[in-house]
Amino acid sequence: MAQSFRKAMDALYLACVVIAGVSLVLISAVIPWAVFTRYVLNSASSWPEPTAVLLTIVLTFFGAAACYRLRLHMNVSLVVNTLPASYRRVTDFVVELLMAAIALFMLFWGTRLVQATWYNTIADFPFLSTGITYLPIPIGGAILFLFIVEHLTLGPPPDTGDAAHAPPAAFE
């Protein structure tokens, strides 16, 4: 069971990385097009800026979940690193619980936001539902929650090189 769950999380992680990477590449292509049309053609395109904003939302929520899984997210660990190992495990456990609360907040309220804005449209893209543009929030929250469950039950993925962060003592 644990092996199957780990493999599923590996696949989910890979999907997050691919989605975030494609978003970053598209942002990198869209912005120069906006500059080209504005300054070379003297006729600015209206779609690149809102497209870049929408892609940034996708990049942020999927990329953040992927980074959290491998513990590559931003954190301030100066005080935690000075603690004895047993206290460090307790603080890691508390952090995981707090992150789970944030992930569930994103999932619950993000879903409510998607539902509330589903029938609205974006002025620059009248064919696109505003609710669809907010979907990365609850999806990212659900993925983040699954990665937190993985951390709490199995520890970080073995390829992270993060042996100092074994599963919290409560789950050993």
**pLDDT tens digits along 25-39:** 999 999 999 999 999
**pLDDT tens digits along 86-130:** 888 898 899 999 999 999 999 999 999 999 999 999 888 889 999
Q: Where is 104: in which H helix or E strand? A: helix 85-117
- Give me the mean pLDDT over the 38-44 stretch: 89
Cα separations in angstroms, 72 against 12, 76, 160, 161: 16, 12, 9, 11
Residues contacting 107, CB < 8 A, separation 6+ = 138, 141, 142, 145
- Give me the mean pLDDT over the 45-64 stretch: 93
Instruction: Write the burial class of residue 149 (CB in 10 Å: 0-12 exposed, 13-18 middle, 19+ buried).
Output: middle
Q: Provide the percentage of residues in the chain whose pLDDT is more than 90.
A: 65
